[in-house]
Amino acid sequence: SPMAAATSLAGWALKSHRGKPFRERQERRFFQSKGYSVSYFKDSSLGSRTGKFDLRKATSLSEPEDGKEAGAHLLLVLPGKKIVIKFENEADAWLKLWCSAVAESVLAQPLKQYHDIELHAEMIKEYGTSAEIKA
């Protein structure tokens, strides 16, 4: 069903490198988001994964501040990890997916508009019992 398809996305994005300010250094990675599981790779053949995280572990999603994080779409905080991301295409679709995956309480006010209640329910229905991936 089209609804179910909305629980996954794949595409290119720029991400901050090891907690450094986004404007200082970014890496272009191919992101694959399926349910709560997000993996990123050096290329779209998915050959060399360089990282992964579980959206259920996110403690905060917010809009990056201007200045050092200018131009990015999202600041994602996970235990022991901070990632700043700029999506190359379909930023609204990515924001909707990730902001709907998490509890609304995790979202900063400007991002609450992207939290889709139906998609949130679909994620729980489809992936709610899946084991958390280790970051």
Q: Per-residue pLDDT tens for 12-67?
A: 999 998 888 899 999 999 999 999 999 999 999 998 999 999 999 999 999 998 88
Handedness of CA 31, 34, 39, 43 (dihedral sign): negative
Q: If you search the block for the tokens 């131009």, which residue do you land on?
A: 71
Q: Write out pLDDT tens, residues 86-97.
A: 999 999 999 999
E strands, 17-72, in order: 26-34, 37-41, 49-54, 60-62
* pTM for the full predicted model: 0.91
Residues listed for the chain: 135
pLDDT beyond 80 at 130: no
Question: In angstroms, rounded to a whole number, what is the distance separating the alpha carbons of residues 132 and 47?
Answer: 22
Give the pLDDT of residue 107: 98
High-pLDDT (> 90) share of the chain, % = 77
